[in-house]
């Protein structure tokens, strides 16, 4: 039986997004090969995840190690490379800048050098980038003028000056919003985009970079303290605890359910562009952290969330995106509301904790 996709290599493909993506696409590929180092921050048990599709071939290896990449590239010669491998976490990236840069930046260049060493150019490279590349993006003053506020300083945050003047944050759009990352993580993700754009442009091959908003859902780590605010809030509410809210509780995010993210990536993989494509992946519906916490607390009849005034250096006040018209034109549209996504996640967490 012929496959719609040829050989596919997925770096970091045993993680949250990679496992969910394998359930949708692995059966369509001639081969679906996953390279992952099973980092303990993401994988408490260093073994092939059960959530990985049975057709996936798992190879334990690290994108920062040339020998690991050389072996898998030479054996697979992928037509499509889906580059998921990355260190995440805004606050952690400020404290562990070298680690984030090594994996995100050098890991990306190692992937490209491994392809060069075997003399192979894939048809399509797909990168999961991040909304973090935008930083604060653009804000609008009452008179309608737009400005880019940039980084909120430690002194500003310590003084509790959370917002930027008397202005309103605007949703991000890949076609118009100028990237201006305000933390190390965002800077490394933007570097990935630039590196891959230069390489694929010079090799006359296709590139898709998907700037993901805040992804959540079943399969996300329940123990990683640097990612998964929805999972962390859920566990607190399940225990009958009040959820703590940073700043004044009105930080804005675009929470997008894992199924919608996987659908967007799959749409991009199945529809290879002629050249380079840059798209946003979000729900299109911004929510405050307070709204998220109240939704979760109400589900469990937990105490009302409470504001702590704490903050994280390098965090942005607001992040959301418009629905990407290129993806919409290819037939993609988010299907999950925040309420439905939160409800689905609670059942999964309950089952995981009971089994654990």
Q: Would you list the DSSP string of 297-326?
A: HHHHTPPPPEE-----TT--SB--BPPPHH
CA–CA–CA angle 165, 323, 13 (5° rounding): 105
CA–CA–CA angle 269, 191, 96 (5° rounding): 110
Specify the pLDDT at position 356: 66
- Residue showing tokens 């993680």: 15
Integer angstrom CA distances of residue 277 from 14, 22, 106, 130:
25, 22, 22, 14
Residue 226: pLDDT band by 50, 70, 90 thresholds? low
Residue-wise pLDDT for 251-279, tens only, equals 999 999 999 999 999 999 999 999 999 99
How far apart CA 20 and CA 28 sit, in angstroms, is 14
How far apart CA 271 and CA 123 sit, in angstroms, is 12
Catalytic residue at 216? no
Specify the pLDDT at position 225: 64
Residue 352: pLDDT band by 50, 70, 90 thresholds? confident
Q: Which residue has the higher pLDDT, 42 or 86?
A: 86
Please check the confidence at residue 289 and state whether its pLDDT lies above 80.
yes
Neighbours of 116 (CB within 10 A): 13
Integer angstrom CA distances of residue 158 from 67, 154, 162, 177, 309:
46, 6, 9, 28, 9
Burial 126-136 (b: 16+ CB within 10 A, else e): bbbbbbbbbbb
Look up residue 283 and give its two tokens. 């729900």
* Pairing relationship of beta strands 252-253 and 255-257 according to DSSP bridges: unpaired
Specify the pLDDT at position 95: 81
Residue-wise pLDDT for 86-129, tens only, equals 988 777 788 889 999 999 999 999 999 999 999 999 999 999 99
Residue-wise pLDDT for 318-337, tens only, equals 999 999 999 999 999 999 99
Residue-wise pLDDT for 125-162, tens only, equals 999 999 999 999 999 999 999 999 989 999 999 999 99
Q: For residue 220, which of 11, 18, 76, 69 has the smallest C-alpha distance?
A: 18
Look up residue 27 and give its two tokens. 């059966």
Average pLDDT over every residue of 241-255: 96
How far apart CA 37 and CA 153 sit, in angstroms, is 35
Specify the pLDDT at position 96: 85
**133, β-bridge pairs:** none
Specify the pLDDT at position 1: 30
The mean pLDDT value of the chain amounts to: 94
Please check the confidence at residue 210 and state whether its pLDDT lies above 70.
yes
Look up residue 11 and give its two tokens. 């770096």
Name the percent of the chain lying above pLDDT 90: 87
**From 185, 216, 226, 246, active-site residue:** 185
How far apart CA 223 and CA 1 sit, in angstroms, is 41
How far apart CA 222 and CA 218 sit, in angstroms, is 10
Q: For residue 18, which of 62, 67, 52 has the smallest C-alpha distance?
A: 52
CB 223 within 8 A of CB 230: no
Yes or no: domain 5-355 corresponds to CATH 3.40.50.720: yes
Alpha helices, DSSP H, located in 239-319 = 258-270, 289-300
């Amino acid at each position: 039986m012929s496959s719609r996709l040829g050989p596919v290599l997925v770096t970091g493909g045993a993680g949250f997004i990679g496992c969910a993506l394998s359930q949708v696409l692995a059966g369509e590929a001639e081969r679906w090969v996953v390279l992952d180092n099973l980092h303990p921050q993401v994988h408490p048990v260093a073994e092939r995840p059960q959530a990985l599709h049975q057709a996936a071939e798992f190879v334990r290896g690290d994108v920062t190690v040339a020998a690991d990449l050389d072996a898998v590239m030479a054996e697979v010669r992928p037509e499509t490379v889906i580059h998921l491998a990355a260190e995440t976490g805004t606050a952690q990236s400020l404290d562990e800048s070298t680690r984030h840069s090594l994996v995100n930046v050098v890991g990306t260049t190692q992937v490209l050098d491994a392809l060069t060493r075997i003399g192979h150019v894939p048809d399509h490279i797909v990168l999961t980038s991040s909304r973090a590349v935008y930083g604060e993006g653009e804000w609008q003053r009452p008179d309608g003028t737009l400005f880019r506020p940039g980084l909120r300083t430690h002194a500003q945050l310590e003084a509790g000056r959370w917002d930027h003047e008397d202005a309103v944050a605007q949703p991000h759009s890949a076609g118009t919003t100028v990237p201006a990352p305000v933390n190390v993580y965002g800077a490394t993700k933007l570097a990935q985009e630039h590196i891959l754009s230069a390489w694929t442009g010079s090799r006359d091959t296709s590139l898709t970079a998907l700037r993901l908003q805040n992804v959540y859902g079943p399969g996300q780590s329940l123990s990683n303290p640097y990612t998964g605010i929805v999972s962390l809030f859920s566990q607190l509410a399940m225990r009958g605890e009040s959820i703590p809210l940073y700043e004044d509780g009105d930080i804005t995010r675009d929470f997008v359910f894992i199924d919608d993210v996987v659908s967007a990536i799959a749409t991009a993989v199945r529809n290879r562009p002629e050249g380079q494509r840059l798209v946003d992946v979000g729900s299109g519906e911004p929510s405050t952290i307070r709204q998220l916490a109240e939704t979760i607390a109400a589900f469990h009849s937990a105490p009302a969330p409470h504001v702590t005034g704490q903050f994280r250096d390098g965090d942005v006040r607001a992040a959301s995106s418009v629905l990407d018209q290129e993806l919409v034109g290819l037939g993609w549209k988010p299907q999950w509301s925040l309420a439905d996504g939160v409800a689905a996640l609670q059942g999964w967490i309950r089952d995981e904790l009971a089994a654990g």
